[in-house]
Amino acid sequence: LIVILPPPVGVRADAVVETGTFGTKNIFPSNPDLPLRSFTLSFNDGREGLISLTRDLCDPKTDTTIHVALTAHSGKRAEFSSRLATPGCDPRARVSIRRRGRKATLVARLTAAREGPAVTAASLALPKGLRRGRSRPRVRADGKAVAARARKRSARIGFEGDGVRAARIVWKGLVAGKKLRRAVRVRVTLKDARGRKTVLKPRVRLRGHKRG
């Protein structure tokens, strides 16, 4: 692995790459005696890429901890652990619906990507056979109540400031029609701090019964 920092730095740093059960280790034994604040190293992905990931870094269950050991030219050492940021990961949504007779309650949990951009807005579209009753959806985001705009079969929420990390939407009093299936897909659109829109269509199996 060779890292070339262009002018005005003009430095080439060659690394020794080791692999094993511990993962991948990159050692730069001949770093120049120059102060560097930061630099960005990018790899091409896909079939033509140099390296590939064996785990999904966007999965919350994946451990993204890296261990770093630094040795200065003076001989001073510093060791620390850090978590990889994952700014390219998209937000996620989980939806559940419980039915009791002609009434139903929808619960949606929205979460920003771990170490990724916050969620700035969200919209929710009800599946066919389900429409709004008298109640409006209740939203709590990062522990605070947030207002939502609701229509017959949709709801929109905007999050102020820089966005939120997690939000919970509870929409009670929904009216279930005769054509409502036991398994439906709910369209959830999330906008994050990157300005990117993520459209999710989780498959939801209804719980409860047609008769209350």
Among candidate residues 131, 90, 132, 82, the one with its CA nearest the CA of residue 112: 90
Q: What is the mean pLDDT of each run of 10 residues along the chain (212 residues)?
A: 81 86 81 74 73 79 87 88 83 95 95 90 96 94 95 95 95 93 95 93 91 61
